[in-house]
Structure 1
Amino acid sequence: VEGLSRQPGSMLAGVIASCRPEEGDFAAYLERQRANPFVKGFRRVLHVAPDELSEGAVFRDSIKRLGGTGLTFDLVVLPHQIPKAIVLADLAPDVTFVLDHCGVPDIKGGAEHPWREHMSEIAWRPNVMAKISGVVAYADAGSWTVETLRPYVEHTINSFGWDRVVWGSDWPVCTLGGGLSTWVAATHALLSGCSIAERDRLLSGNARKLWRLD
């Protein structure tokens, strides 16, 4: 990926690298990546892992090691796992966390609870940001509309505020919900009543600041 970023016309500015905080060699891995300015943060997909994975001592110690590095950690969790994400955020208050995909709500099932309450709670943590992404993949691919997505996107933005949200394409997973162009169009429809300043912060400004992209 870094090699692709050096090609003429590339828009790649950095990477959120996969990692395994539960493994004992994470400290060495972290030191190697810190030497590479192209790496902006880390990601561990927890919604496909056992719930107790993030509760392990090695995992938690690894997350604490990110403190002071300027590297972020993406939280990819299901609604019932958000309380576990809250614990991580509280254990490492000097680490910036990014909650992916609006907390992975079950939009297809129309389930807003306890997702809604958990989102409000984790948003109280100033070291957690939210990514407005992925929601089309969790809706019914054949029938969702902008209004289907609106309660989930708006609650996320209202909970975190315009200074703590970033937009994400979730490509290629977004193809499960209609594709990238469809998600982009839905995003603009959802933001139709927002100010230019609010839109700019969500779509680029906050990400540039968070991952030092300028």
Structure 2
Amino acid sequence: MGADVTGTEPGLVDAHHHVWDLSVRDQDWITGDALAPIRRSFSLADLAPEARAAGVGATVVVQTVTVPEETPELLALAAANDLVAGVVGWTDLTRPDIADTLAALRELPGGEHLVGIRHQVQGEPDPEWLLRPDVRRGLSALAEAGLAYDLVVLPHQLPACADAAADLPQLTFVLDHLGKPPIAGGILEPWASAVRALAARPNTVCKLSGMVTEADHATWTVDDLRPYADTVLEAFGPRRLLYGSDWPVSTLAAAYTEVLDVARLLTDSLDTDGRREVFGGTARRVYSLRAGGASRVGPRNSRT
């Protein structure tokens, strides 16, 4: 029996979305005809009505570019808007003063909303970038600061993710977009084996996000996505899965509410408690989100 896609889960959290303003800075990754529809500015004012209509009570906004100015802007956005409960920002993990940099971000307006850091590892030519000593030092500083680390990687980089998670059991690693499996090609391996190896590390979680844009944007179906969703459901379990819309990138393939409805269909095998975890509980634990919106400052239990 399919899930009731008209209802909402208590405490529904969208744990992954973006905003950007092209009048402030370019998004140099938005190139080519395929991405042309999102080569414009997207603000929280654009998202908020759709999120509220879908029953979303809190969101986590995630960085898009590797410049230090963006994270303070996202923190200020969170400070000014009740909808944004957390910020996954960017800073250079290889800085010798990374601990001081993280502390300084926490002192900025909205700094209490900083819940994690992300780097575009998918663009690094070294498949073992995460294992470099200078990167490891930065990841260790994140753990000491009580922050999570979001992984935006490609399938061939997953083995390094598993090694990094094994090396740093005190840090929570959050896999974005299932590790970007080749859904459009209908290919499961070696992605599935690699994602299971990552899930074997207890300090890892996975976002149920980004699937529609890894599929064929025009012709995807729920059946195309299900093998990939089933793989992470089995590997991580509902207490280590968290829903994210990946708005506005997701609009290339589906409307905001459609992405949420599809995620509900893909988790229709779960009981009520399991769905409550995927659509809110896991995000609140992993990112230490308060019910009122702000994050808690300080260490978290990384074994989620």
Q: Aligned residue for 1:183?
A: 259
Secondary structure at the counterpart of residue 47 of structure 1: helix
The structural deviation recorded for 1:182 is: 2.1
* TM-score, with structure 2 as normaliser: 0.66
- Equivalent residue in structure 1 for 2:142, among 52, 66, 84: 66
Q: Does 1:30 align with 2:106?
A: no
Q: Supply the RMSD in Å over aligned alpha carbons.
A: 1.6
For 1:155-170, list aligned pairs within 5 A. Answer: 155-170=231-246
C-alpha distance in structure 2 between counterparts of 1:127 and 1:108, whole Å: 29
Do the aligned residues in 1 keep the contact of 2:98 with 2:141 (CA within 8 Å)? Answer: no
Note the alpha carbon deviations across 1:7-34, whole angstroms, 9 max, x for none: 46x3111201112213444333122234
- Note closer, same or farther for the CA distance 1:60–1:149 as it changes in structure 2 (3 Å cut): same
Count of residues paired in the alignment: 213
Q: Which has the higher contact order (CA 8 A, sep 6+)?
A: 2
C-alpha distance in structure 2 between counterparts of 1:70 and 1:13, whole Å: 16
Do the aligned residues in 1 keep the contact of 2:102 with 2:145 (CA within 8 Å)? Answer: no
Percent identity among equivalent residues?
35
Secondary structure at the counterpart of residue 65 of structure 1: helix
For 1:171-210, list aligned pairs within 5 A. Answer: 171-210=247-286
Q: Aligned residue for 2:114?
A: 39
The structural deviation recorded for 1:68 is: 3.2
Do the aligned residues in 2 keep the contact of 1:34 with 1:69 (CA within 8 Å)? Answer: no
The structural deviation recorded for 1:212 is: 1.8
- Equivalent residue in structure 1 for 2:88, among 8, 11, 16: 16
Do the aligned residues in 2 keep the contact of 1:77 with 1:103 (CA within 8 Å)? Answer: yes
C-alpha distance in structure 2 between counterparts of 1:176 and 1:22, whole Å: 34
Secondary structure at the counterpart of residue 73 of structure 1: strand
Structure 2 residue runs of 5 or longer lacking an equivalent are: 1-73, 291-304
Q: Does 1:123 align with 2:196?
A: no
- Equivalent residue in structure 2 for 1:142, among 193, 211, 218: 218
Do the aligned residues in 2 keep the contact of 1:22 with 1:56 (CA within 8 Å)? Answer: no
- Note closer, same or farther for the CA distance 1:94–1:190 as it changes in structure 2 (3 Å cut): same
Secondary structure at the counterpart of residue 218 of structure 2: coil
Do the aligned residues in 1 keep the contact of 2:99 with 2:141 (CA within 8 Å)? Answer: yes
Secondary structure at the counterpart of residue 129 of structure 1: strand
